[in-house]
A and B are shown apart, each in its own frame.
Chain A
Amino acid sequence: QSVLTQPPSVSAAPGQKVTISCSGSSSNIANNDVSWFQQFPGTAPKLLIYDNTKRPSGIPDRFSGSKSGTSATLGISGLQTGDEADYYCATWDSSLRAGVFGGGTKLTVL
């Protein structure tokens, strides 16, 4: 049972937009910055979004992040088959004094 809650899976057609939610609490998302990671099978996670909305160099602007209250959202527009991967949200939890990850969401591009 993860501290942050994500839907197990989402799907959409190529070219469409999909959103992945991440639900937390006042001790984590509400008061700390959220990051998002993309992970392909057998590879290490890759930082997609940090500080809720910022993209590291090299990440296309098709990927976007937002946060409101105790929830955060990753948006992926112009879906490509190459976007099929697992996506994880993460943040700091001030009560646990530790980092926490969501349970991950598998994206399928139909």
Chain B
Amino acid sequence: QITLKESGPALVKPTQTLTLTCTFSGFSLSDIGVSVGWIRQPPGKALEWLALLYWDDDKRYSPFLKSRLTITKDTSENQVVLTLTSVDPVDTATYYCAHRLGLVRGVDFDYWGQGTLVTVSS
């Protein structure tokens, strides 16, 4: 049974760095074809793809946020960490992590965490 859960601060001040952790179970990020991604959704707005970490440690980032995003893994702890630097109120959103299994590039995330709402405000 695959589960994912996001954790992190609910409130972050502008210009600070946001660090979010995705803790998962039911799969290994070392298994071929497995990837974990981050997606966010501002209140009342659409989903936005942020980053993806592959089993082989390959990484992909949204070109619109690339300079501010970093995705890493802690295989032993079954965690994937996303950091977003220099946050601004427009970064206020629910942040989701999700699981994907596939060797071809894609966005077919089959398991999602419940999401964590992050508000950027002074």
Contact = CB atoms under 8 A, between A and B. Distances in A.
Interface string B88-122: 00000000100000001111111011110000000
A33 B47 contact: no
Interface residues of A, number: 27
Nearest to B61: A98
A104 B96 contact: no
A97 B108 contact: no
A15 B107 CA distance: 30
A79 interface: no
B45 to A, nearest CB: 8
A33 B108 contact: yes
Interface in A58-110: 88, 90-92, 94, 96-104
A50 B108 contact: yes
Given A97-B63, A99-B52, A47 B106 contact: no
Given A2-B46, A45-B47, A90-B49, A32 B96 contact: no
A49 to B, nearest CB: 9
A103 B42 CA distance: 12
Contact of B60 (A46, A88, A98, A102): A98
B16 interface: no
A47 B100 CA distance: 11
A97 B60 contact: yes
B49 A101 contact: yes
